[in-house]
Amino acid sequence: MLRITVKLGELLQQAVAQSEIELELDEPATLADALTQLHLRLPELAHELLPGGKTRSGLPYHFFVNRRLVPEAALASHRLRDGDTLHILSPAAGG
């Protein structure tokens, strides 16, 4: 069993009314496993973050593990370790 800390960007914080979540995952665990666990634990995330790391508008969120960007193509292969910190940041909005 491994534990990670998930820190949410502003849009996701508003959706779930919290900024940080602790997750326990069976080993081995990938970033995709963590996202699945988040959806199970916080179904209100489904309004903003879709499985696979996309938003409802089709834009990807940005995922950082221990401050390093994990590309969307690597979500299913990026292995997590006990004590990792996952930041999920919203795509930039412009106008």
Q: Which two tokens stand for residue 77?
A: 């292969």
DSSP state of 11: H
Task: Kindly report the backbone phi and psi dihedral angles of residue 13, in degrees, each rounded to the nearest multiple of 5, phi listed first.
Answer: -60, -45
CA–CA dist 72, 31 (Å, integer): 10
> Is the pLDDT score of 93 beyond 80?
no
Q: What is the mean pLDDT of residues 42-60?
A: 70
| Per-residue pLDDT, 56 | 62
> Is the pLDDT score of 71 beyond 70?
yes
Tell me the domain boundaries of the chain. 2-89
> Is the pLDDT score of 94 beyond 50?
no
CA–CA dist 69, 61 (Å, integer): 11
Confidence of residue 69 (pLDDT cuts 50, 70, 90): very high
Give residue-wise pLDDT tens across range 18-36: 999 999 999 999 998 998 8
What proportion of the chain, given as a percentage, has pLDDT over 90? 48
Contact between 65 and 84 under an 8 Å Cβ cutoff? The reply is yes
> Is the pLDDT score of 41 beyond 60?
yes
CATH number given to 2-89: 3.10.20.30
Contact between 35 and 78 under an 8 Å Cβ cutoff? The reply is no
